[in-house]
Structure 1
Amino acid sequence: MTRLPGTYESYWMETGEGPRHPGPPGEVEVDVAVVGGGIAGICTAWELARAGRSVALLEADRIAAGVTGYTTAKLSAQHGLVYARLLKSFGAEGARLYARSQQEAVEYVARVSAELGIDCDLERVPGYTYAESADAVDQLRAEAEAAREAGLPASFVTDTGLPYPVAGAVRVEQQAQFHPRKYLLALVADLVGRGGKVYERTRIVSLHEGKPCRLTTEGGAEIVARDVVVATHYPVFDRALLFSRLEPHRELVVAAAIPADQDPRGMYITQEQNTRSVRTTPYGEGQRLLIVTGEKFKPGVGDVSERYERLAAWTEERFPSARITHRWAAQDNTTTDKVPYVGRFHPGAEHVYVATGFGGWGMSNGVMSGRLLTAHIMGEELPWTSLYDPRRLHPREASSLLKVQGSVVKHFIGDRLRGSHVDSVEEIAPGSGAVVRVGGRRCAVYRDESGTAHAVSARCTHLGCLVHFNDAERSWECPCHGSRFGTDGAVIQGPAVRPLEPRPLPGESEVSDVSD
């Protein structure tokens, strides 16, 4: 296997240590239970505690250590080529509400950081959406005009701080970049100071909606709450059928030290070359850490190592002084109409709320969600409540919905008909994995570096799709809805809440061709 550049760890995780929080002691009763300790969950819990509600924040692993700990951490209202699309789909008022809600989130983080004295490396910089091809200039001009009409300080430019020429760019002023864990861990400390309860290593496996609602943990503890917020990135409860309207995708990140005088002084993104996103953060005396994101793909797609290599090669070509230090990967979900779902979980929900579908822009959307969900629970309404309502069904999303479901059906059926690229366990090389048949059942088999093979069920415990092996991150991934599992079957990322079951390997012999 090719040796990939940099340490496989997020810079935010490496430099943002926080205290541990034990699980619940038994039954816990609060006003609001927030399931999910990422940016949306933390911001919601903090807002509610500040409003006087008793809150329990419940996280399956460590707080701010899931998707939030592996973000690019751009805090921006400029979300690529979004405003021209919003203008067509939601009209001028919808585009204005989206822009206002996102820009207010940027300003809110700056204000809260100042009020609480949070040192989170917050820097105000412009955001750019650019293209190197002249063919995209008209589209960029239209986006600049749409963003400006939506109320953002946007303009079309041809000069940027990048060390290579562009054909054009949309520049939006007054955006920000920050260290997400430093900011969020400070909010958690303030939450605890206000009497909020924080429980880590507390996976929620069931929800009973009622008056009150009841949540059950993997260990059997019960959380009783009047209101419940599901902020687990991809909702772990399927009663709203949001899995039919969400499409997961992953992106890779490489980070590299560069001289401070080579800082491009802004946040940049292009859809060209399968996405390239660039920003920097403070990194020692005379240096900046360049953070480059790209190579977007669906979970379960192979050749992840090759994608890392392409991203690293692009970084070193465009920034010749770059010395790659870290690499990691991020995952997010996009809704079928490209606007997040934040609000009541489903048409019949009275006390259960959700925040999901941030489309790669989780920082501003997470902050926005915290404020919007708090307003819901406090009986208030913000101007953009209906824009983000999960119960909406926009006519323009029908084709996207069919495309998402077509992809799921393709994997659910096609992966069962398609033969594996290996015929036996013996063919699996150390450090790699494959789905093979063992004793008539499909097993996900990983062989560690010492040569020992480990087998688990190949059926995702969410809805039964077959998992695929990620060669770079050494994990099993579901291509249908994005659940991820360790090589031992443990859940890394939902919507699955149960691990892949272990499978015995009585002997590494030829694998049978019997169906599941």
Structure 2
Amino acid sequence: MPNNGEERLSSYWIDSTKLPSFQALENDINVDIAIVGGGITGITTAYLLIKEGFHVAVIEASTILNGTTGHTTAKITAQHSLIYDEFIQHFGEDNARLYYEANKEAAEQIAEIINLHGIDCDFKKEDAYVYTNSNDKVQSLKKEYDAYKRLGIDCEYLDNISLDGNIKGAVVMKNQAQFHPLHYLSHLVNYIKESGAEIYEQSVATHLDIGDKPIIHLRNGAKVTANHVISASHFPFHDNRGYFARLHPERSYVVAAKPEKTFPGGMYINAEKPKRSIRSVTIDGEDLLLFSGDGHKTGQGEPEKKHYEALEKFAKEEFGAKEILYRWSAQDLVTEDRIPFIGCNNEGDKRVLVATGFRKWGMTTSMVAAQLMRDILIGKKNRYEELYSPSRFKADPGIKTIVKENVNVAANLISGKLDSPDKELKDIKEGEGAVVSIKGGRAGAYKTKDGELFVVDTTCTHMGCEINWNSADQTWDCPCHGSRFSVEGEVIEGPAERPLKRIDPNSIDYTTS
């Protein structure tokens, strides 16, 4: 916990967890199953597959559990905002019920693992609420409540709840849970390691050859040959199905604050926009709250720091919070029909499996994915396979969403090329990043507090969109498909595989730039 009220620009989950480190893969290896991605999905899937006797390797581009998993709000719930009435309308009652039951069973499985291994991870049962302050959303909540009852969900509708504010109504899903995700997952990592699985960090998978046995090629030249490959790398590292056009990226924000007002317990999310999600957390023996939301498409909209400021204002106005202790952000992917893609990358072909598009609800969805992919690989019938199949295509609402998203991509591609930078390189201050003009061209510049200057080409290496500066996280973000790059130009988030082109600032004539 920060000393003297100092705010940390980092995830509490990561700060409070000591994780083992692993070496990069330098030599060629052969395994039964190679999992690309060391987040909650990859680690959980490895855990389940080891129990089936498979020789498993986890390949992580950065460090394990440091991506979206380490920046979650960590609600273990089947209440994924207002979705069940929508799913009944679009996919029918049977499929909506399957979605609920898949996530309900996943939550129960997480609880079973915690009990089996005696994991101390602040696991706590809580009711989950979707509430509204708007009269316009009351009818939507009542429709959601009716959907809950049709699907057999343990629920309640309330005209008011114990939160302060002008609450107009809420629908409650009973007996959900919250936990410390990395304390839970660090135990699974140790189990995996002790069970003989291989884990490699700083090992970037760049492409895949699919023969009788798939071969993963790493950036450093090493190769992984496996009977089966699982892509659990947030955005699929092997995109031969056009996932970049079937997924859109969104960023959301979290602040941890010390409230002055009494918190009634429970987990909350509002029905309207901007989103406001609330849950409790204990940090160094003190009861705090996590406020999250204010999501937007990656690389688009107002400066990212404005989203933190909006959450901080909400925490202060609604809960009297006077001290912000942590803040962090996360990125997630959304499919065209809001149901994740989980299963065989090509229908019926077990050589390559994929899990992506969790729509910010990765705690239960990761377990859904791990169990489903395990069952596919061991030949066990799983009643959720068709619902989550990456090969599916639902014309309603899928086609409308795809058209809308690709119009958005095209607009950002064009506008980025026409955008005129408003700064010159010589104007960049220490600790500042910005798009700048260099001899009439567009470039990205960042100057450290020590005065070191990093300059990059702002053309995204995925499909040529122009990246924008993220002042809150100090990254370069692509508004088209969500690729993110460090100040040095290294890839942080896909679908981009290659770093940005670096420009040597010493080669630039400042007098003419």
CA contact 2:446–2:454 (8 Å) conserved in 1: yes
Q: 1:166 to 1:441 in 2, by over 3 A?
A: same
3-state DSSP class of the match of 1:104? Answer: helix
% identical aligned pairs = 36
TM-fit CA distance, 1:322: 4.7
1:274 aligns with 2:274: yes
Distance 1:275 1:509, change over 3 A: farther
User: How has the CA–CA distance of structure 1 residues 154 and 119 changed in structure 2, closer, same or farther, with 3 Å as cutoff?
Assistant: same
Gap change, CA 1:98 and 1:267, over 3 Å in 2 = same
CA-CA distance at 1:347 after TM superposition: 4.6
Show the 5 A alignment for 1:213-292. Answer: 213-258=214-259, 262-285=262-285, 287-292=286-291
Which position in structure 1 is the counterpart of 2:29?
A: 28
Asked whether the equivalents of residues 161 and 266 of structure 1 are also in contact (C-alpha less than 8 Å), the reply is no
Give the Cα separation in 2 of the matches to 1:164 and 1:127: 18
User: C-alpha distance in 2, partners of 1:401/1:501?
Assistant: 30
Partners of 2:475 and 2:484 within 8 A in 1: yes
* Residue in 1 that maps onto 2:494: 494
Deviations 1:20-41 (A, max 9, x none): 1112241111110000011111
The one-character-per-residue Cα deviations of 1:265-291 (angstroms, maximum 9, x if unpaired) are 111001434100000122233x31200
SS of 1:387's partner is: helix
SS of the residue 1:7 aligns to: coil
The residue number in structure 1 matching 2:352 is 352
Do residues 469 (structure 1) and 469 (structure 2) align? yes
Query: Which residue identity lines up with residue 299 of structure 1 in the other structure?
Result: T
Looking at structure 2, the residues matched to 341 and 242 of structure 1 have their Cα atoms a distance apart, in angstroms, of: 10
Q: What TM-score, normalized to structure 2? A: 0.95
Deviation at 1:263, TM superposition (A): 2.7
CA distance in 2, matches of 1:29, 1:235: 21
Name 1:377's counterpart in structure 2. 377
Q: Would you say 1:399 and 2:400 are equivalent positions?
A: yes
Q: 2:137, 2:271 within 8 Å by CA — same for their partners in 1? A: no
Superimposed CA distance per residue, residues 30-76 of structure 1 (whole angstroms, 9 cap, x where no aligned partner) = 11000001111111111111111110011111111111000111110
Matches within 5 A, 1:57-96: 57-96=58-97
Are the equivalent residues in 2 in contact too, given 1:99–1:151 (CA < 8 A)?
Answer: no
| Deviation of the 1:417 alpha carbon | 1.6
Cα distance in 2 between the residues matched to 1:161 and 1:233: 36
Listed as ranges, the gaps of 5+ residues in structure 2 are none
CA distance in 1, matches of 2:322, 2:383: 44
CA distance in structure 1 between the partners assigned to 2:362 and 2:136 by the alignment:
30
2:337·2:394 contact (CA, 8 Å) conserved in 1?
A: yes
**Alpha-carbon distance between aligned partners in 2 of 1:162 and 1:296, rounded to the nearest angstrom:** 22
- Please state if 1:325 is matched with 2:325: yes
Q: Report matched runs for 1:84-483 at 5 Å.
A: 84-258=85-259, 262-285=262-285, 287-301=286-300, 302-347=302-347, 349-396=349-396, 397-422=398-423, 424-439=424-439, 441-483=441-483
The Cα shift of 1:495 comes to 1.9
Distance 1:202 1:148 in 2: 47
**Contact 1:257-1:283 within 8 A present in 2 as well:** no
Q: Distance in 2 between matches of 1:486 and 1:262?
A: 40
In the superposition, relative to structure 1, how do residues 509 and 264 fare at CA in structure 2: closer, same or farther (>3 Å)?
Answer: farther
Cα distance in 1, alignment partners of residues 344 and 322 from structure 2: 46
Contact kept, 8 Å, 2:439 with 2:512, in 1: the verdict is no
The separation in 1 between residues aligned to 2:166 and 2:431, in whole angstroms, is 41
Contact 1:299 1:477 in 2 (8 A): yes
Deviation at 1:348, TM superposition (A): 7.8
**Aligned partners of 1:447, 1:241: CA distance in 2, in Å?**
36
User: 1:455 and 1:165, CA in 2 relative to 1: closer, same or farther beyond 3 A?
Assistant: same
TM-score by length of 1: 0.94
In 2: Cα distance, 1:415 partner to 1:323 partner: 38
Which position in structure 2 is the counterpart of 1:514? none
**Quick one: structure 1 residues 379 and 341, their matched pair in 2 at CA, closer, same or farther if it must change by over 3 Å?**
same
| CA distance in structure 2 between the aligned counterparts of 1:229 and 1:16, rounded to whole angstroms | 26
How many angstroms apart in 1 are the aligned matches of 2:307 and 2:206? 34
Consecutive unaligned residues of structure 1, counting only runs of 5 or more, are 512-516
Is 2:246–2:335's contact at 8 Å kept on the other side of the alignment? yes
Amino acid at match of 1:175: Q
Deviates more, 1:381-390 or 1:93-102: 381-390
